[in-house]
Amino acid sequence: MKKLTTGNGCRPALSLHVMETPFPERGSELWLGKPAPRYTSYPPAPFFTSDVGANAYANALRQTAPDAPVSLYVHIPFCNSLCLYCGCNTIITNRAERINPYLSALAQEMAHVGGLLGTRRVSHLHFGGGTPNALTDNQMRTIFEGIRTHFDLSSVGEIAMELDPRHVTPEQARTLVACGVSRVSLGAQDFNLEVQRTINRVQPYELVAQVCDWLREAGLTRINLDLMYGLPKQTPETIADTARRVSALAPDRVALFSYAHVPSLKKHQKALEAQGLPDLTTRLAMEQTARQILTESGYAEIGIDHFAKPSDPLAKAWKNGQWHRNFQGYTEDSAETLIGLGVSAISQTPDGYFQGEHETGPYLEAVTANRLPIRRGYLLTAEDRLRRAIIEALMCVLACDLDALCAAHGFDVETLAEDLARLRPYEEAGLVTREGFVIRLATERRMAVRAVCKEFDPHSRGSNLLSSRTA
């Protein structure tokens, strides 16, 4: 391990631990760099089908328990500029008036869904994008008025919003608090200016620090920071510097995401190849370095890529085993039904998954015609529910009791005989351990669990469809 120090203006120098690029360990060929889903759902979204559409979604909504709370996700696709690493569904515009027709359609969709559900109690509300804070203050207030018209937010546990720190102002911070937002996630990605210029997202550390101050002064104290490794120009040294600076900002949670390079789907990512993407072992060194710095700074490791202060609700839920994984990542929210609103948003009910239209044209057309704007979906079978439970357990606690899960879902454990046979190379390599039908990830490389999950996923085995690499 190397050690270096760096100063930041008048701030004290930071001691940086940097992991040497690791030599591939035994068994790494089974997972390192292998394509595997991130498993925010099972089956993963690429395997949804157009055979499941608006009628199936309407039936699923009607069949949800009327006294059960729901989670809401609202997709705001608009961004002022394009970040070259982005894999999200976005629309580039700096004209606020272009957003208004979309907000009107969102209000219509809320009314339609609310009519099927009744005025349902909401346990958690999340705004993603795109850039939700690309909205003006008036647009922000309008969208909250629409939500409160059709859903009951009186007992909501949390209202969270993803923010681009480049667009936050003190006035916007106060508007968010007035609307009820209680947690924000700032997309920091990396604090190295050369990396920022390469990915077309320049936001100096001092800017993000100022934004954190504005948010806290406004009363918004639950702050998450999102980091990304595997970008051009990044090295273990730069990611170490970023991790230390993040720790100095004292966010409640940190997400450490691996850059997913999918230029076949997101053509703008192709531009990053000319800048040189780090190889797999360097990416692994980056992840290890950032992980070590964050844990040494007092953060608890949550699942494969999240960190939280011990006092944070997510860390407490993790400690008590009462946390889950959904399309927003790890969450302490236990609602079985997640309602996705807006273009490309995905809904989840006990029956399955339903995804909205990917493009704004078809989305607006469907909503204007008073149709649910569903493009595709998936209805779960009994075996799907078993496999979903296995994969969620592995992704959340890096272990599962196959016998207990099979019994809970009405299956004999022999149903998984072929899956267990596929795990033998992982056992022989020391990546997983098995005691009877209890399996555990045995390596410190937490990202390896995605490859283990894939062995229980008949949809993804043999397919690299829209899967990011495990490093």
Structure tokens at 221: 């104290």
The region, left, alpha or beta by phi > 0 then psi within -120 to 50, assigned to residue 430 is: left
Report d(CA 236, CA 133) in Å as an integer: 31
Report d(CA 82, CA 70) in Å as an integer: 32
Q: What integer pLDDT is reported at residue 5 of this predicted model?
A: 31
Report d(CA 190, CA 201) in Å as an integer: 9
Q: What integer pLDDT is reported at residue 70 of this predicted model?
A: 96
Return the CATH class of domain 381-460+467-471: mainly alpha
Write down the H helix ranges in 236-279. Answer: 236-249, 270-273
Structure tokens at 290: 């950032």
- Residue pair 147/110 in contact by the 8 Å Cβ criterion: yes
- Residue pair 236/186 in contact by the 8 Å Cβ criterion: no
Residue-range domain boundaries for the chain: 52-339, 381-460+467-471
Reference 241, options 273, 300, 195; nearest CA is 195
Q: What integer pLDDT is reported at residue 465 of this predicted model?
A: 63
* CATH number assigned to the domain with residue range 52-339, chosen from the 4 options 3.30.1130.10, 3.10.180.10, 3.40.50.720, 3.80.30.20: 3.80.30.20
Q: What integer pLDDT is reported at residue 6 of this predicted model?
A: 31
Strand spans (E) along 405-460: 432-435, 438-441
Number of Cα atoms under 13 Å in the Cβ half of residue 267 = 0
- Residue pair 121/236 in contact by the 8 Å Cβ criterion: no
Task: Write out the chain's pLDDT in tens, 471 residues.
Answer: 433 333 333 333 333 455 555 555 778 889 988 889 999 999 999 999 999 999 999 999 999 999 999 999 999 999 999 998 888 888 888 887 889 999 999 999 999 999 999 889 999 999 999 999 999 999 999 999 999 999 999 999 999 999 999 999 999 999 999 999 999 999 999 999 999 999 999 999 999 999 999 999 999 999 999 999 999 999 999 999 999 999 999 999 999 999 988 888 888 988 898 899 999 999 999 999 999 999 999 999 999 999 999 999 999 999 988 889 998 889 999 899 999 999 999 999 999 999 999 999 999 999 999 999 999 999 999 999 999 999 999 999 999 999 999 999 999 999 999 999 999 999 999 999 999 999 999 999 999 999 999 999 999 987 766 567 787
Report d(CA 416, CA 432) in Å as an integer: 16
